[in-house]
Chain A
Amino acid sequence: MIETLLTNYEEAAAIILFGIGLTMLLFQRNLIKKLIGMNIMDTGVFLFLASMGYIEGRRAPIITDGIQDVNAYINPVPAGLVLTGIVVSVSVTAVMLSLSIRLYKRYHTLDLDDVYILSRHQTEDR
Chain B
Amino acid sequence: MDIIRNFPLFTIVLSLFSGVLCTMLKGKTAKNYTLIYEGVLIVLTACVLFYTVGNGSSFTYTMGEFPAPWGNEIRAGVLEALTALFFLVILFCSVMAGWKFLIIDIDESKINLYFTLINLMTAALMALVWTNDIFTGYVFVEIMTLTSCGIMIVREIGRTTLAAVRYMILNLLGSGLFLLGIVLLYDITGHLLMVPMRETIAGFAAEGTDMTSIMLSLGILTIGLSIKSGLFPFHFWMPDTYGWSTPTSGSILSSLVSKAYIFLLFKIYYRVIGPSVFEALPIRKIIFVLGILGMVFGSVSAMRQKNINRMVAFSSAAQIGYIYMGLGIGGIDGYAAAMFQIFAHSVTKSLLFLTTPRLSEVSGHSLLFRNLQGSGYRAKDAGLVFLLCSFSMVGIPIFAGFSAKLNFATAAAGAGSYRILFFTMIALAVSSVLNALYFIRTCIRIYTSGRGGADIYAPGLYEEANARPGSDLPSGETTVSGSEEPLFSRLDYWIPAAILTGLNLYLGLFSWQTVGLIEKGLAMFP
Contacts and interface: CB of A to CB of B under 8 A. Distances in A.
Kindly name the residue among A25, A42, A49, A95 whose own CB sees the greatest number of chain B CB atoms within 10 A.
A95
B142 interface: yes
Given A88-B142, A126-B465, A41 B176 contact: yes
B180 A25 contact: no
Interface in B144-188: 145-146, 149-150, 153, 157-159, 161-162, 164-166, 168-169, 172-173, 175-177, 179-180, 183, 186-187
B469 interface: yes
Given A96-B172, A102-B153, A84 B135 contact: yes
A99 B367 contact: no
Chain B contact patch, size range? 35 or more
A97 B136 CA distance: 25
Interface in A70-89: 77-78, 81, 84-85, 88
Contact of B139 (A25, A45, A84, A122): A84
A99 B368 contact: no
Question: By CB atoms of chain A within 10 A, which of B135, B365, B371 has the most?
Answer: B135
B407 interface: no
B6 interface: no
Contacts of B180: 18, 44-45, 48
Contacts of A91: 142, 146
A88 B135 CA distance: 12
A103 B157 CA distance: 10
B366 interface: yes
A61 to B, nearest CB: 12
Nearest to B163: A119
Contacts of A96: 168, 172
A54 interface: no
A16 interface: no
Contacts of B367: 126
Given A22-B176, A124-B469, A125-B307, A103 B165 contact: yes
B192 interface: yes
A22, A100, A119, most chain B CB atoms within 10 A? A119
B36 to A, nearest CB: 29
Contacts of B162: 103, 115-116, 119
Nearest to B173: A25
Contacts of A77: 192
Nearest to A44: B180
Contacts of B173: 22, 25-26
A107 B145 contact: no
B146 A92 contact: yes
A124 B187 contact: no
Contact of A102 (B161, B176, B186): B161
Interface in A39-79: 41-42, 44-45, 48-49, 52, 77-78
- Residue from B146, B153, B158, B368 having most chain A Cβ neighbours under 10 A: B158
Nearest to A89: B142
Given A38-B176, A48-B183, A112-B165, A107 B158 contact: yes
B183 A45 contact: yes
A22 B169 CA distance: 11
A122 B187 contact: no
Nearest to B146: A95
Interface size class on chain A is: 35 or more
B51 to A, nearest CB: 32
Contacts of A107: 158
Nearest to A81: B135
A122 B158 CA distance: 9
A122 to B, nearest CB: 6
Contact of A52 (B159, B187, B368, B469): B187
B176 A21 contact: yes
B161 A103 contact: yes
Contacts of A21: 176
Contacts of B168: 95-96, 99
A124 B139 CA distance: 36
A22 B186 CA distance: 21
A100 B139 CA distance: 23
Interface in B14-57: none
A119 B157 CA distance: 10
A38 B172 contact: yes
A96 B170 CA distance: 12
Nearest to B180: A45
B134 to A, nearest CB: 11
Interface in A91-124: 91-92, 95-96, 99-100, 102-103, 106-107, 112, 115-116, 119, 122, 124
A31 B165 CA distance: 9
Contacts of B138: 88
Interface in B363-416: 365-368, 371
Given A22-B176, A92-B142, A119-B162, 17 more contacts: A18-B176, A25-B173, A41-B176, A42-B176, A42-B179, A44-B180, A45-B183, A52-B183, A88-B139, A92-B172, A92-B175, A99-B161, A100-B165, A102-B153, A103-B162, A122-B158, A124-B159
Interface of B: 135, 138-139, 142, 145-146, 149-150, 153, 157-159, 161-162, 164-166, 168-169, 172-173, 175-177, 179-180, 183, 186-187, 192, 244, 307, 365-368, 371, 465, 469
Interface of A: 18, 21-22, 25-26, 31, 34, 38, 41-42, 44-45, 48-49, 52, 77-78, 81, 84-85, 88, 91-92, 95-96, 99-100, 102-103, 106-107, 112, 115-116, 119, 122, 124-126
9 contacts: A22-B177, A25-B169, A25-B176, A44-B180, A95-B149, A99-B168, A100-B165, A106-B161, A126-B307
Question: What are the 3 A-B residue pairs with the smallest beta carbon separation, nearest first?
Answer: A124-B469, A41-B176, A88-B142
